[in-house]
Chains A and B, each alone.
Chain A
Amino acid sequence: MSAVDTPLDKVPRPRPAGPGRKPRRFGGAALPWTLLAPTIGVLLLVLGYPLVRLVTLSFKQYGQAELWQGLPGDWQGVANYTHVLGDPVFWGVVLRTLLFTLAAVLLTLVAGMGVALLMQRVSTWVKALINIVLVASWAMPVVVAITIFKWMFDSDYGVLNWLLSRLPGADFSGHNWFTDTKQGFLVITLMVVWGAIPFVAITLHAGLTQVPKELEEAARMDGAGPVKVFRHVTLPVLKPIIVMLTTLSVIWDMGVFPQVFLMRDGHPEPAYQVLTTYSYDQAFVANDYDAGAAIAVVTVLLLLGVMAVYMRQMLKIGEVE
């Protein structure tokens, strides 16, 4: 009896192999599901249950009293949502989050593409240097990056104020970057983009090496300038990567938390709140867990479309394999 037959014998209802399908070596569904069981169990416990809890919580009344006495909380329908969605402060937070995400994602992708194109054109030693610097800034833990940027932008001893003050006619000594929210978000965006460029640049650079040289050559022969070659040859080939990087960046940048939270020393002012910190504040500072949950649900809903695009792209690749 060969190894091929054994599992089939044990399975009560062997599935007929469809026409054109390879004969199934490891027949039966019992074994794979057994292997999957621990993962599914753990994920249901640590992710599935909290996710259900998040949604139910957003339809309940749940504050400090319920938390301390271990009460389940009373249902109150969509009251949390009407309250949150009717609050102009919330819409201000949404707008701020979307603007920040848009700016950060755009900057990351444009700068990342620039660096990737540059890496193709520089000498080998410059390319090696760029690689080292990119990987080092990529690997820096976010909390470390935050402390570095806080130090560089410090109002009294920050190196940036010193540097800018060297410019003719500029005096930045003692300039506080966080008094004005616009400047504050500029610093936060710069930090996020600095940390995000390496992944984008290195991935795009790897993608650029896949663009067939003959295609670019042919376009050039036909009289296309560098801009046209990029627009009509390089970009279309890179499109799947760009879609992937854009969706990932949107998900990551909309989910920034420590970048805002720690930059403002754990107490972001109202003008600095983004969706994640706002939800956190509602729950753990104002002890309004139900409202925090409703805000978190809205955040996830806002992201769903972007997630769907990413998943579709990943599955397309999965089918090719």
Chain B
Amino acid sequence: MLDTAPAERTPAAAPAARALRRPRRKGRTVYNLLGLLVVVVSGFPVYWMLNTAFKPAKDAIDPDPKFFPTSLSFQNFSDALDVGDFWGSVGRSLIVSGATVGLGLVIGLLAALAISRFVFRGRKAVIVAILAVQMVPLVAMIIPVFLLLNQIDQIDKLTGLIVTYLTFVLPFTVWTLRGFIVNIPKELEESAMVDGCTRMGAFFRIILPLLAPGLVATSIYALIQAWNEYLYAMLIMSQENQTATVWLGNFVTSRGTDYAPMMAGSTMMGVPVVVFFLIVQRRVAAGLTAGAVKG
């Protein structure tokens, strides 16, 4: 620091400074090129899906593939809609994810309030349990869950799937909402209560409005998780009652795979998820490692 400061004042230092900056600019170009390489490599699979989906059906399967679209066609999409029961499976997926998230949100909000706004014996144990439960790999639980649902006659029923999805939606909801509630200053409620608000009043007038964005973000993220689930949906639901993720498998037949309509189907499945994800990613996903730097 000490030897650069006086040098800046002398006129002779100006070219020297420029010389210092020049290799840096060159470095920036190299970095930009590398960055663009990352964009191309990482973005290619998604681009290739869209590119195949919107090609005319006869050009989509081509031993000499075209990298840039020449004409736009929706043929693959109408073909995809004819495979299996697309709207039925989407409807079932929406019912299951919607019901799971709705239930999870109501039950989870109460628990999140308990562990973020109250000090009580066993609070730490509850927090540890909520964290631990999120770590249980769901794949390991399919056998007992299947046997349990079989026992209570819930195989091939949407209610069975909804209950199952609560295993991952509920702990996630509690943990994420806790993060949002902790960030609402306690003083706001306290001053409302000093001004004559009841505990309930303070909750509905202060916490809930401030929590609204968090609630929306959490539910969209949970909705995506439930919508994307494959394993349990595949195991529990029959062919006629399949959900959207399992529906995608219909393009794979014993005669081979219908890739062009399959890419159209993938586009219909994936693009809405990406759009919703864009809305909430910044708010929610950070929760998985929230505050790691501080720790």
Q: Which residues of B contact A284 (CB under 8 A)?
A: 146, 235
Minimum C-beta distance from A272 to chain B (A): 16
Q: Which of A36, A126, A258 contacts B111 (CB 8 A)?
A: A36
Q: Which of A50, A67, A251 contacts B137 (CB 8 A)?
A: A251
Minimum C-beta distance from B90 to chain A (A): 13
Q: Which residues of B contact A221 (CB under 8 A)?
A: 1
Q: Which residues of A contact B295 (CB under 8 A)?
A: 240, 313, 316-317, 320
Tally A residues with Cβ within 8 Å of B: 114
Q: A47-B141, A142-B230 are in contact. Are A317 and B294 (CB under 8 A)?
A: yes
Bound Cα distance from A68 to B293, whole angstroms = 53
Q: A49-B148, A126-B36, A315-B131 are in contact. Are A143 and B46 (CB under 8 A)?
A: no
Per-residue contact bits, chain A 43-69, to B (CB 8 Å; 1 contact, 0 not): 101110111011001000000000100
Q: Does chain A have a CB within 8 A of B96?
A: no
Q: Which residues of B contact A133 (CB under 8 A)?
A: 38-39, 42-43, 46
Q: Does chain B have a CB within 8 A of A152?
A: yes
Q: Does chain B have a CB within 8 A of A286?
A: no
Q: Which residues of B contact A154 (CB under 8 A)?
A: 257, 259
A46 engages B137 (CB within 8 Å): no
Q: Does chain A have a CB within 8 A of B8?
A: no
Q: Does chain A have a CB within 8 A of B114?
A: yes
Smallest CB-CB separation from A245: which chain B residue? Answer: B289
Per-residue contact bits, chain B 119-130, to A (CB 8 Å; 1 contact, 0 not): 111110011100
Q: Does chain B have a CB within 8 A of A19?
A: no
Q: Which of B52, B121, B136, B289 contacts A241 (CB 8 A)?
A: B289
Bound Cα distance from A130 to B34, whole angstroms = 11
Q: Does chain B have a CB within 8 A of A276?
A: yes
B292 engages A244 (CB within 8 Å): yes
A129 engages B135 (CB within 8 Å): no
Minimum C-beta distance from B221 to chain A (A): 10
Bound Cα distance from A54 to B146, whole angstroms = 11
Minimum C-beta distance from B177 to chain A (A): 11
Q: In the complex, how many residue pairs between chain A and chain B have their CB atoms under 8 Å apart?
A: 309
Bound Cα distance from A320 to B294, whole angstroms = 8
Q: Which residues of A contact B281 (CB under 8 A)?
A: 135, 138-139
Q: Which residues of A contact B231 (CB under 8 A)?
A: 257-258, 261
Per-residue contact bits, chain A 164-208, to B (CB 8 Å; 1 contact, 0 not): 000000000100000000000000000000100111001100110
Per-residue contact bits, chain A 1-45, to B (CB 8 Å; 1 contact, 0 not): 011000000000001000000001110110111011011101101
Q: Which residues of B contact A (CB under 8 A)?
A: 1, 27-28, 31-32, 34-36, 38-39, 42-43, 45-46, 48-49, 52, 61-65, 107-108, 110-111, 113-115, 117-123, 126-128, 131-133, 135-148, 150-151, 163-164, 166-167, 170-171, 174, 182, 186, 190, 193-194, 198-199, 224, 227-228, 230-231, 235, 245, 248-249, 251-252, 257, 259, 262-263, 265-266, 269-270, 273-274, 276-278, 281, 285-286, 288-295
15 inter-chain pairs at a CB distance below 8 angstroms, sorted by A residue, are A24-B119, A33-B122, A35-B111, A51-B144, A134-B42, A135-B278, A137-B42, A139-B281, A145-B45, A147-B262, A151-B263, A162-B65, A255-B137, A265-B252, A307-B132
- Besides the contacts A33-B122, A135-B281, what 20 more A-B pairs have beta carbons closer than 8 Å? A29-B120, A38-B111, A43-B171, A129-B39, A133-B42, A136-B46, A139-B274, A140-B45, A150-B257, A157-B61, A159-B48, A194-B42, A240-B295, A245-B289, A266-B252, A280-B142, A297-B140, A299-B140, A300-B140, A320-B294
Cβ-closest 8 pairs across A and B? A139-B277, A39-B111, A50-B144, A53-B144, A32-B118, A35-B114, A317-B295, A122-B35
